[in-house]
Amino acid sequence: MAENFKLEIITPYRVFFSGETETLVVSSLDGELGILANHEPIVAATDIGPARIKIDGVWREAAMADGFLEVEDNKVTMLVGSAEWPEEIDVTRAQKSLARAEERLKDVSMPWEQTRATRALRRARLRLALAQKTE
């Protein structure tokens, strides 16, 4: 049996996950980041993408917004803008978000608007992709 570590994923609205896990794989600004028990201490910026979490030998996947991750003393703490399990995703809402982001990308005039619309598009696509995996 694999060794576990404590994982907490916190959003502004709730504690998304708190428990023991064997493996965590998340998107960081430098690429995928994998965490196992007894990982060296780090702080990293996380990016929009799936988080893959191995709990009792079973992989679960969640949609994560960007944020930060800290590893210290066999504990990982993630602070992210949002986190959802596939079964929590409202597909209709995600489809509307995707359509809005695509429309916004057509009418951007400032660089920050392009960045914001692109990030919204990435979040919507991620949410739809994970929701469709469970259907």
> What whole-number distance in Å separates Cα of residue 130 and Cα of residue 7?
21
Report the chain's C-alpha Rg in angstroms. 16
Alpha helices in 1-135 (DSSP H): 91-106, 111-133
Handedness of CA 44, 50, 56, 57 (dihedral sign): negative
Average of per-residue pLDDT values in the chain: 92
| Section 26-35 average pLDDT | 94
Architecture in CATH of 90-133: Up-down Bundle (1.20)
Question: What pLDDT is recorded for position 97?
Answer: 87
- Tell whether the model's pLDDT for residue 1 goes beyond 70: no
Structure tokens at 112: 């920050």
Do 5-84 and 90-133 have matching folds? no
Structure tokens at 91: 């597909």
Question: What pLDDT is recorded for position 103?
Answer: 85
Tell me which fold the domain 5-84 belongs to. ATP Synthase; domain 1 (2.60.15)
What are the backbone angles phi and psi of residue 36, rounded to the nearest 5°? -120, 170
| Section 28-50 average pLDDT | 96
pLDDT digits (tens, 9 = 90+) for 80-115: 999 999 999 989 998 998 898 888 878 777 777 778
The CA-based dihedral angle spanning residues 70, 73, 74, 80, taken in that order and rounded to the nearest 10 degrees: -20
| Section 60-84 average pLDDT | 97
Domain boundaries, the chain: 5-84, 90-133
